Amino acid sequence: MSAAQRRAQILEIAMLEFSRTGLFGTPVDVIAKAAGVTQPYVFRLFGSKTKLFTECVRISFAQSTARMLDAAEGLSGVNALVAMGNQYRSNLENNPDVLIQVQAFAACANDEVREAVRECYGDQWQQLAKRAGVDPVQMKIYMALGLLLNDLTMIGAKPGAGLHEQWVEDAYTVIDASVFAALETAPDPDA
């Protein structure tokens, strides 16, 4: 393999491993062994475990943002938000590049990780808001609902998973455009 191919392979493996056990729970030697390389080789390519992790975080946000933007192609307003939300929800459980974002939030005690997450989250927010053309309150609610889905995924609270608790069913209630549409007619509290 060329160095570029090996680097891509290591990133793919790291995405999977970090999505499962996060920055602090994933030894670099696990990633190296899965890639068939040595731990020093991984460090030579990426500099540190934190730099490898933050590169995975950046890839994760870029990929999930691109998928949501694609889902909202040709749509605007609340219809775009609903399409992006449905796309995000459909990829949440089985997609390491989405799950790594949850791990990234958990690793924000590390300054380098916190800076990368803040930058990526802000970029995602701005791109999605621009595509949808929504106001800050609608965007805030949209992003908050996405974080709720992250939390539910991490605690294994999903319908059909053997949990028969009403709050789980309620938490997974599909949000439709009417929730956001009601905000369009709400008076501006700052006016």
What pLDDT is recorded for position 177?
64
Distance CA 65, CA 74 (A): 16
Q: What is the mean pLDDT of residues 15-32?
A: 96
Is 50's pLDDT higher than 80?
yes
8 is written with which tokens? 């891509």
| pLDDT of 187 higher than 60 | no
Q: What is the mean pLDDT of residues 141-154?
A: 86
pLDDT for res 93: 67
160/168 Cα distance (integer angstroms): 10
pLDDT attached to residue 121: 96
When pLDDT is cut at 50, 70 and 90, the band that residue 158 belongs to is confident
Q: What count of other Cβ atoms lies within 10 Å of the Cβ of residue 103?
A: 24
Crossing angle for the helix pair 49-71 and 39-46, to the nearest 10 degrees: 60
Rounded to whole angstroms, the Cα distance separating 80 from 83 reads: 5
**CATH architecture observed for domain 3-184:** Orthogonal Bundle (1.10)
Residue owning tokens 């475990």: 49
Determine the average pLDDT of the residues in 63-70: 95
Query: Across residues 59-75, what is the average pLDDT?
Result: 95
The residue ranking higher by pLDDT, 120 or 175, is 120
pLDDT bracket for residue 60 (50, 70, 90): very high
Q: Could you tell me the pLDDT band of residue 165, with boundaries at 50, 70 and 90?
A: confident
**Closest by Cα among 12, 53, 5 to 34:** 12
* Of the candidate ranges 8-17, 86-95, 131-140, the one whose mean pLDDT is the lowest: 86-95
Structure tokens at 27: 């030894």
Q: What is the pLDDT of residues 69-92, one digit of tens each?
A: 999 999 999 899 989 988 988 887
74 phi-psi bin (left φ>0, alpha ψ -120 to 50, beta other) = left
The overall average pLDDT reported for the chain is 88
Where along the chain do its domains lie? 3-184
The structure's pTM equals 0.86
Chain segment 166-182, per-residue pLDDT in tens: 888 788 777 666 666 65
